[in-house]
Structure 1
C-alpha cells in the first residue's frame, strides 16, 4: 500500500502544470517573421475578446464553441 501512495505522490509532483498560451510579441520575433507574428497577435486578441464576451454572457459550455465561431465570423465581417 505504501508503494502505491509513494508512486502516486511522485506522479503528482512530476506532473507539469499546463499554462495558457501567451500573446505573441512581434518585437521579439525575427524581422522576417514579424508580419506573421502581428497577424497572429491580432487573431489572439480577437479570440480573447470573444471568450470574454462569452464569459460575460455566461454562455453554457455546450454552446460556447458555436458562440465563439459566430463571434469571430462577425468580427471578421466587420473588418
Structure 2
C-alpha cells in the first residue's frame, strides 16, 4: 500500500502547475495578425481590470459572472 502512495505523491509533484493565459504581445505576432493581437490584448486588459474590481469588492463566486459581464458592458459603453 505504501508504494502506491509514494508513486501518487511523485506523480503529483512531477506535474506542472496550471498557468493562466498570458497577455498577447502584438510585437511577437506576424504583421498580418498584429491588429487582431492588439484588439485581443485590449480585451484581456479590460477583463483583468474587471476581475480586479470584483476581487476588491469581494463579489461572491455565484455573482462573479454577472458582475464581470456588467463591468465589461459599462466599459464598452464608455468607449
TM more than 0.5: yes
Q: Distance in 1 between matches of 2:58 and 2:76?
A: 23
SS at match of 1:17: coil
Aligned residues: 79
Q: Distance in 2 between matches of 1:45 and 1:52?
A: 10
RMSD: 1.0
Q: Deviations over 1:20-58 (max 9, x none)?
A: 111111011110110000000000000001001111111
Which residue number corresponds to residue 36 of structure 1? 36
Task: Structure 1 unaligned segments of length 5 or more: list them.
Answer: none
Q: Distance in 1 between matches of 2:63 and 2:42?
A: 24
Which residue number corresponds to residue 54 of structure 1? 54
**TM-score between the two structures when normalised by the length of structure 2:** 0.92
Residues 1-79 of structure 1: matches in 2 within 5 Å? 1-79=1-79
SS at match of 1:20: coil
